[in-house]
């Protein structure tokens, strides 16, 4: 699978990865949030046999993605932000929107389109039942980065 590395061939976590928890606990909880490496608020979630990790604050306005439902749009699994219902693909962090084919047609016909990568996705690795996250440190700016500042975390915790 693309997001979760298999544990079968290795007994060591990847370099620069961070321990999140035991897989059985994450599976039971469904979602776990953690401040990784003292610098990044990450959501790790388990869905249909697969682990995913992403920035935990929604790229739109910082909504708590850990409370979002998971639904499929156009065959893509998405977390739906509970705040304004933005859809974010679990695999790639792409924001999806519903495009109208022809604004004059009745009834309106729509289809799902990508706005590009909006939410930073991190790599999950499982080793002997332990789950690790490797932060995606790509230098490219991603919109969800905005909600990772110290200031935001402070106001978020007070809210
Ligand atoms: Fe997530 Fe607005 S904060 S949809």
pLDDT band at residue 6 using 50, 70 and 90 as cut-offs: very low
Domain, as residue range, for 24: 4-158
Atom of ligand 1 nearest to the CA of 65: 1
Residue 22 has pLDDT above 50, yes or no: yes
Q: What is the CATH number of the domain that holds 126?
A: 2.102.10.10
Between the CA of 82 and the centroid of ligand 1 the distance, in Å, is: 7
CA dist 115 → 15, 86, 94, 129 (Å): 32, 11, 7, 35
Looking at the structure of the chain, the number of domains it has is 1
pLDDT digits (tens, 9 = 90+) for 61-104: 999 999 999 999 989 999 999 999 999 999 999 999 999 988 89
Tokens of 141: 């700016």
Residue 153 has a pLDDT of 61
The preferred substitution site among 58, 66, 67, 69 for testing ligand 1, maximizing ligand atoms within 8 Å of CB, is 58
Smallest CA separation from ligand 1 atom 2, residue: 84
Percent of the chain with pLDDT over 90: 72
Token pair 């809210």 is at which residue? 159
- The residue among 69, 37, 45, 50 whose CA lies nearest residue 136 is 37
pLDDT for residue 151:
63
> Model confidence over 35-72: pLDDT tens digits?
999 889 999 999 999 999 999 999 999 999 999 999 99
pLDDT reported for residue 154: 59
Structural contact between residues 131 and 44, judged by C-beta atoms closer than 8 angstroms: yes
- pLDDT tens, position by position, 133-147: 999 988 889 999 999
**Mean of the pLDDT values across residues 20-44?**
96
Give phi and psi for 19, each to the nearest 5.
-70, 130
């Amino acid at each position: 699978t693309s997001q979760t590395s298999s544990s079968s061939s290795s007994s060591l976590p990847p370099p620069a990865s961070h321990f999140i928890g035991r897989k059985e606990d994450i599976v039971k909880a469904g979602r776990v949030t953690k401040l990784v490496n003292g610098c990044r608020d990450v959501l790790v979630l388990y869905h249909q046999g697969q682990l995913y990790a992403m920035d935990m604050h929604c790229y739109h306005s910082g909504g708590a993605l850990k409370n979002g439902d998971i639904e499929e749009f156009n065959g893509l699994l998405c977390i739906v932000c509970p705040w304004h219902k933005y859809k974010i693909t679990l695999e790639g962090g792409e924001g999806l929107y519903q495009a109208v084919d022809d604004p004059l047609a009745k009834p309106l016909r729509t289809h799902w389109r990508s706005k590009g990568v909006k939410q930073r996705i991190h790599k999950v690795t499982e080793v002997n039942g332990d789950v690790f996250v490797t932060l995606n440190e790509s230098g490219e700016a991603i919109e969800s980065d905005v909600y990772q500042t110290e200031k935001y975390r402070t106001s978020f915790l007070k809210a």
